[in-house]
Amino acid sequence: MRRPDTASLATVSQPFIEDWLSALRRCSAEAEMAGFLERSGLGAIHDQPGARVTLDQIVRLYKIAAVETGDEMTGLWSRPIRHRTLQHLLATVRESGSLPSALHRFSTFWNLLLDDFQFELRTGAAQIDLMLLPQGDDQVQRFGHMLILKLAHGLLSWLAGHEVPVRAVHFAFDRPSFAQDYSVIFPAPVHFDASASGLSFDLAQLSPPQTRSSAEMDAFLARAPRDWIFTSYHEHSQSLRVRAFLFRSDWVGCSLSDTAQALGMSRRTLTRRMEEDGTSFQAIKDALRRDIAIRDLREGRKSIEEISQDVGFSSAANFHRAFRRWTGSTPRSYRSGAERASTV
């Protein structure tokens, strides 16, 4: 059986989605919002300040909320984005003769719908920038900016048939405490406190689009937002390449030297590059242990003691302490919450 890659284990911190949850609360009744969270497996996150949110939970919450709020951007913009909007967007960009043309169609389409922001496409000799410019003094919605820029990148990648390289990502808000979560989403350096949010691409790296059928378009929409948010997680940064190597290896006993040798560099170079990503070898290994444990607890096929051993703890007590530090919850209560969500 084909082993899943590390993207299937990806998690982000609870604060990463808090702007989104706040937007949903504004357009949903209290009982309705509680139902969204329970059905997506996020019902207990407010009792767990260190909670981690999985790819599947993000996808599930989007699917539920987009249908039940009647807004395909789930309250993130001042005007609701009505049902079938994304279908029409795909049909529009699918006819593009080039990826720059697709970006032009994307920006023109959204400029008909958004009031608080407008897209502007800036093309130079070697670079093209997709900028999201404010039209007033409204506060920047961090999750909304992330989602719509990733939609642009996801659509380009779908048209190209591979993850399109991004030169840089800029956000018009201060660097948040959860800045590392953006490396799970974007395959490029992410900069904060910019004058405007946007994506930059090298024109030479924008390959011709593939011909996409109606059936392929329907499949992309059916999986939304999975295929546009999580395009190719493992290639994004040096730290995530380390994580991908550890996941494929005997990672519990794998050392920094082993990893550096496998990646074709010295210990010092690898350490420096991880520091540039704001992390360390031990932090990457601990995050992988955490996400493997979260997956296994949610699947429910292994005992807590087995999971403890699998992720390299000498005792279940040490695992309990580490898991509480990672998530704010005990392994048993985390599993119970996941089981309750799966029955809703």
pLDDT tens across 259-287, in order? 999 889 999 999 988 887 778 899 888 88
What's the N-to-C CA distance of the chain in angstroms? 30
Q: What is the mean pLDDT of residues 307-315?
A: 89
User: pLDDT of 234-263, one tens digit each?
Assistant: 445 577 778 878 887 877 778 999 999 988
Interior angle at CA 76, CA 216 and CA 234, nearest 5: 50
pLDDT at 339 over 80: no
Per-residue confidence (pLDDT) for residue 197, from 0 to 100: 98
The pLDDT-based confidence of 8 (bands split at 50, 70, 90) is low
Per-residue confidence (pLDDT) for residue 3, from 0 to 100: 44
What is the CB neighbour count within 10 angstroms for residue 267? 14
The pair phi, psi for residue 117, each rounded to 5°, is: -140, 155
Q: What is the mean pLDDT of residues 90-108?
A: 96
With residue 80 as reference, give the H or E element that holds it.
Answer: none
Per-residue confidence (pLDDT) for residue 46, from 0 to 100: 61
User: pLDDT of 178-225, one tens digit each?
Assistant: 998 898 888 788 999 999 999 999 999 999 999 999 999 999 999 899
Asked if the bond preceding 134 is cis, omega within 30° of 0, the reply is: no
Per-residue confidence (pLDDT) for residue 250, from 0 to 100: 75
Q: Which two tokens stand for residue 216?
A: 């392929």
Helices marked H in the chain — which ranges?
A: 18-26, 30-40, 55-69, 85-94, 99-111, 142-160, 182-185, 214-223, 226-229, 238-248, 256-262, 267-276, 281-299, 304-310, 316-327, 331-343
pLDDT at 31 over 60: yes
pLDDT at 169 over 50: yes
Per-residue confidence (pLDDT) for residue 328, from 0 to 100: 75
With residue 188 as reference, give the H or E element that holds it.
Answer: none
What is the CB neighbour count within 10 angstroms for residue 4? 10
Per-residue confidence (pLDDT) for residue 232, from 0 to 100: 57
Largest Cα separation within the chain, whole Å, is 59
Q: Residue 216 and residue 288: Cα distance in Å, rounded?
A: 33
Cβ 317 vs Cβ 310: under 8 Å = no
231 or 146: which carries more pLDDT confidence?
Answer: 146
Cβ 233 vs Cβ 240: under 8 Å = yes
pLDDT at 151 over 90: yes
User: pLDDT of 288-298, one tens digit each?
Assistant: 888 889 889 88
Q: Residue 167 and residue 169: Cα distance in Å, rounded?
A: 7
CA dihedral 141, 147, 153, 154 (to 10 degrees): -170
Per-residue confidence (pLDDT) for residue 47, from 0 to 100: 60
pLDDT at 1 over 50: no
161 or 107: which carries more pLDDT confidence?
Answer: 107
| pLDDT > 70 in the chain, percent | 91
The pair phi, psi for residue 28, each rounded to 5°, is: -135, 145
pLDDT at 75 over 50: yes
By C-alpha distance, which of 120, 101, 25, 206 is closest to 34? 25
